[in-house]
Structure 1
Amino acid sequence: MAHLVAHDTRSADPVRPTGEGAAAGPPTTPGPPVPPSAPAPAPASFAPVSLVRFAIPLVVALVLWFVPAPSGVDAPAWHLFALFVATIVGVIAKPLPMGAVTLIGLTATVVTGILEPAVALSGFSNATIWLIVVAFFISRGVIKTGLGNRLALFFVSRLGKNTLGLAYGLAATDLVLAPAIPSNTARAGGIIQPIIRSIAESYGSVPGPTSRKVGAFLTSTAFHVNAVTSAMFLTAMAGNSLAAQLAGDQGVEITWGSWALAAIVPGIVSLIVVPLVVYKVYPPELKKTPEAAATARASLADLGPMTRPEKVMAATIVGLLALWILGDSLLGLSATTTALIGLCVLLVSGVLTWQDVTMEKQAWDTLVWFAVLVMMATQLNELGLIPWLSEQMSGVVAGMGWEKAFILLTLVYFFSHYLFASNTAHISAMYAAFLATAIIAGVPPLMAALVLGFCSNLFASLTHYSCGPAPVLFGPGYVPVGNWWRTGFLIAVVNIAIWMGIGGLWMKVLGMW
């Protein structure tokens, strides 16, 4: 992050005013050295809150607060529900950044007397939350060392002789980086999107009449691939750990290894199929791109051999993956402990400095909103609201058989994402209730928790506002809204078929149901 530092360029020697307007008579003892032409200090910059956007969650909170609690729900649970819904609405309406909105929600739970301060702040001690926060710090090393860019150039140089190969090269880059970068927005916007823009412009493909040459296809494919890679690892998207925590509150344990193992087969299939589908329904005009591969090879040659920081970073990622997969069962190391070990290695080796850690504001921001949402969701479960809501929902699917019931619940959960502009907001609002309903209906708990967790990423394909990477990739203007939505719906259907069909069979082989 670049900083602007203002330096004082005034002389330390006293300066006597001269010229027009100077006082006549003998010189006097000079005061502080202030140049006559010194500019006035710039006024402070303020960002006023949008009153309309702020009023929306406030009205929601007041309306729900004063609506009588349904039969079977205690008043504290209902009032916390009112604040929780208002907080989610605030996250969507965005009168303030997400961290500020959730902090207001936390404060409201204490001021209204619903929760004690110690309970309201309990989310900040949650180990799952710290796993994601530490993973953000580790991802800073991937970007800082240039390892992410080197990986992208490597895959493009090997696979980029044609447009479809370019798409697979970018998909391979995203796949390799996903376990270590929990910000899917950082992967899409910080690594993948600049490469897409560079390749597209080198072939004269810019937003507008020439977008279909290559830019539109690569942009669309990268977006849908990002949703798939985000679904494949617990640490590939911040909201995944929220889903795991909410599942844990209901007695369903999801580890880093169990998530990755269940996702690996449907994930690989999706990564193969999705670019092919986009290539058929939204094809590029340019099919051959030998110059892209040659340029990538030249750029790799310019980079030279891997630097020491890159080697340390690569070795750390490999070690993290090994410990995340085997550490819990063989060494008794939790995923969070493993992440902390990796961070310490990067600090001791000098790949990261403590300043890098303190300046990683997305990690600290995630800590705040994540802790508040986890706390609220946990307390809604403790106070009985989630079990009550699940019982009401289970009446709708009663008598269907768990297979049909789960398909219906999954489809409703998936396509309701048209109403959300954030994966995390969707998970916070609906995951726990849908999981509890599925379990009541007889769905194997681990299977239900994982499938809903996978869907919590895959439904991002639907719209251009669905998640963080959506505006990053939609913003340049390569893909019109209509094409984005049509392709997104088709990819959503394809992913549902793969992850519930092939993925379901794979989980059967693994004994998860």
Structure 2
Amino acid sequence: MPIDPSSAAGATRSPEGQRPPDPPQTVPPVGPQEPSRERHEVGWRAFIWRIGLPVILGAAIWPLPSPGGVSTQAWHMLALFVATILAIILRPLPMGAVTLLGMLAAVLSGVVPLTAPKDDPTAPYALMGFANSTIWLIVMAFLISRGFIKTGLGRRIALFFVSLLGKKMLGVSYGLAVADLVMAPAIPSATARGGGIMAPIMKSVAEVYDSRPGPTARRAGSFLAINVGQVNAITCAMFLTAMAGNPLIASLAEQQGVEITWARWALGAIVPGLVALVAVPFVVYLIYPPELKETPEVVSMARGELRRLGPLSSGEKIMSGTFILLLLLWTVGDMVLGIDATTTAVIGVAVLLLGRVLTWQDIIAEKSAWDTMIWFSILFMMATALNQYGLISWVSDTIAGSMGGLGWVPALIILCLVYFYSHYLFASATAHISAMYVAFLGAAITLGAPPLLAALLLGYITNAFTSLTQYAGGASPAIFGTEYNTVAQWWRVSAVAGLVSVTIWLVVGSGWMNLVGLA
């Protein structure tokens, strides 16, 4: 059987009713995996040009005269911001290290102080992001998602839906899609869901029919791999806590006077997201069909794995109850009980600690959460400084002015499409968000678009473009790494599927948000 029964970890129970923890080396990381030393470290020549180009670009922008209406302080922050974004793309060092250097440069150059100025506590300062509640929301969500993986609940959910819908290959793709959708609200790492949970099960399904990278890939694996990537991008768009960049979007939108709560984000996304989850896999099935259409053995495989897992452990039961509690509080807690999304996430982590699903060692060992906090906080600080220093409004006005007399509807469509397809130039969703989101949102608002509608549409499209290329971010690199698809196959199919997805978000999404009063 392609899935090793030992991986189910269901044969024995600890006294508390949880499965014994896997050996440390077998526990999949919740967030993006840190490359190994051999993979990450580059030669000195490559390191010098990767770090040198951003420094040269920043140094070139710094002394230039700032345009009319832009202060020198804003221009200098732009120079540091552009250099930091380019370094994130070129990756001479991990993202956290790159942003830390950018923050240091901003402090040493006097562009921002390290701590809040006593004479103006509202002014931007280097450490301001670390006190931002939205950033703590995503950190807590990373910790919660560790419970899904540690208890095995995430894998059980995926196998369950495959066992229900897996008689046909298209049904397998829908089963994986529903499983991803169920886990998305509480697992903010696209890589953990798509690459750590869904991709191994997808690969096991393919191997049931001896579909492996190479000559037999088109039997099943090629179709399923692209579908897992496309679905992951859609589910990331459906919840504020489904992708690490979404809370950054909410924070940047707030700087434009737009409040995006967990419930608002989910309400706006539910209908277009469900439509996309139905339509996109079917489109991929039409333009890139698997050779095998009937897959009865997959149902037997999934049911056999579920039998080996046995009944829910106490850890899985606590994780399930915590997940339901989180969904309830995220949906109505702010409106009814006055409990915001971040407080809800902290409650979830506390329950998992008290229920012994997570240990304090699990908390402090979750490197992805703390790494995300660092780069997230620093990029938030830089974006805030650019906005408060007046540069974002100048860029937004410039973009809006270039569109002449266009009404806000065609202008918003153009902005969304440019924002979507420009992701071919980015290898990081975070870099793209930081560089373009707030300026495009500002331009849309200036042109008369309803602020919340524009903010949500650009946010949803941010997630949709993460499946465009094999380096686009999210789960794409991990899924492409299964080697079922060539670069040409991935780009060709994803270009069509991506266009379908973004059309659904624009057309169905706009209509739905207008209907429910979000426009």
Deviations 1:452-498 (A, max 9, x none): 00010001222111103111111121111111111111111111221
Shift in Å at residue 162 of structure 1? 1.2
Runs of 4+ in 1 over 2 A off after TM superposition: 1-4, 45-49
Secondary structure of the corresponding residue to residue 117 of structure 1 = coil
Work out whether residues 470 and 476 of structure 2, in 8 Å CA contact, stay in contact via their aligned partners in 1. yes
Equivalent residue in structure 2 for 1:375, among 381, 392, 396:
381
Structure 2, unmatched stretches of 5+, are 1-21, 26-39, 116-124
Partner of 1:155: 161
Equivalent residue in structure 1 for 2:281, among 275, 280, 302:
275
Partner of 1:61: 58
Work out whether residues 461 and 491 of structure 1, in 8 Å CA contact, stay in contact via their aligned partners in 2. no
Work out whether residues 173 and 281 of structure 2, in 8 Å CA contact, stay in contact via their aligned partners in 1. yes
Partner of 2:99: 102
Shift in Å at residue 47 of structure 1? 7.0
Partner of 1:260: 266
Question: In 1, distance between residues paired with 2:281 and 2:232?
Answer: 11
Shift in Å at residue 91 of structure 1? 0.6
Question: In 1, distance between residues paired with 2:24 and 2:412?
Answer: 51
Partner of 2:397: 391
Question: In 1, distance between residues paired with 2:404 and 2:465?
Answer: 26
Deviations 1:221-256 (A, max 9, x none): 000000000000000001011010000011100000
Question: In 2, distance between residues paired with 1:3 and 1:262?
Answer: 40
What pairs up with 1:164-183 in 2 under 5 angstroms? 164-183=170-189
Equivalent residue in structure 2 for 1:142, among 136, 141, 148:
148
Question: In 2, distance between residues paired with 1:162 and 1:269?
Answer: 20
Which amino acid letter does the alignment assign opposite residue 250 of structure 1?
A: Q
Question: In 2, distance between residues paired with 1:328 and 1:143?
Answer: 28
Question: In 2, distance between residues paired with 1:314 and 1:56?
Answer: 48
Which amino acid letter does the alignment assign opposite residue 219 of structure 2?
A: K
Work out whether residues 159 and 166 of structure 1, in 8 Å CA contact, stay in contact via their aligned partners in 2. yes
Q: Over the residues paired in the alignment, what is the CA RMSD in angstroms?
A: 1.3
Shift in Å at residue 398 of structure 1? 3.0
Question: In 2, distance between residues paired with 1:504 and 1:110?
Answer: 42
1:319 aligns with 2:325: yes
Secondary structure of the corresponding residue to residue 72 of structure 1 = coil
Equivalent residue in structure 2 for 1:240, among 224, 246, 250:
246
Partner of 1:22: none
Q: TM-score, structure 1 length as denominator?
A: 0.91
Partner of 1:28: none
Question: In 2, distance between residues paired with 1:46 and 1:217?
Answer: 33
1:343 aligns with 2:340: no
Shift in Å at residue 60 of structure 1? 1.3
Question: In 1, distance between residues paired with 2:41 and 2:323?
Answer: 41
Question: In 2, distance between residues paired with 1:87 and 1:71?
Answer: 24
Pick which of 250-259 and 481-490 moved more. Answer: 481-490
Sort the Cα spacing of 1:196 and 1:46 in 2 relative to 1 into closer, same or farther, 3 A: closer
Equivalent residue in structure 2 for 1:418, among 407, 417, 424:
424
Partner of 1:488: 494
1:93 aligns with 2:123: no
Work out whether residues 466 and 474 of structure 2, in 8 Å CA contact, stay in contact via their aligned partners in 1. no
Question: In 2, distance between residues paired with 1:337 and 1:101?
Answer: 30
Shift in Å at residue 199 of structure 1? 1.5
1:81 aligns with 2:78: yes
Sort the Cα spacing of 1:75 and 1:445 in 2 relative to 1 into closer, same or farther, 3 A: same
Question: In 2, distance between residues paired with 1:492 and 1:223?
Answer: 11
Work out whether residues 398 and 441 of structure 1, in 8 Å CA contact, stay in contact via their aligned partners in 2. no
Deviations 1:112-153 (A, max 9, x none): 111110110110000000000000000000000000010011
Question: In 1, distance between residues paired with 2:450 and 2:173?
Answer: 36
1:407 aligns with 2:413: yes
Work out whether residues 174 and 229 of structure 1, in 8 Å CA contact, stay in contact via their aligned partners in 2. yes
Equivalent residue in structure 2 for 1:204, among 207, 210, 229:
210
Sort the Cα spacing of 1:48 and 1:347 in 2 relative to 1 into closer, same or farther, 3 A: farther
Pairs aligned (count): 473
Which amino acid letter does the alignment assign opposite residue 397 of structure 1?
A: M
Deviations 1:96-125 (A, max 9, x none): 000000000011100111111011011000
Question: In 2, distance between residues paired with 1:256 and 1:135?
Answer: 13
Work out whether residues 135 and 247 of structure 2, in 8 Å CA contact, stay in contact via their aligned partners in 1. yes
Q: TM-score, structure 2 length as denominator?
A: 0.90
Deviations 1:53-111 (A, max 9, x none): 11121111111112221121111110111101111111100000000000000111001
Shift in Å at residue 368 of structure 1? 0.2
Work out whether residues 237 and 460 of structure 2, in 8 Å CA contact, stay in contact via their aligned partners in 1. yes
Secondary structure of the corresponding residue to residue 448 of structure 2 = coil
Work out whether residues 458 and 495 of structure 1, in 8 Å CA contact, stay in contact via their aligned partners in 2. yes
1:117 aligns with 2:114: yes
Shift in Å at residue 264 of structure 1? 0.1
Work out whether residues 256 and 335 of structure 1, in 8 Å CA contact, stay in contact via their aligned partners in 2. yes
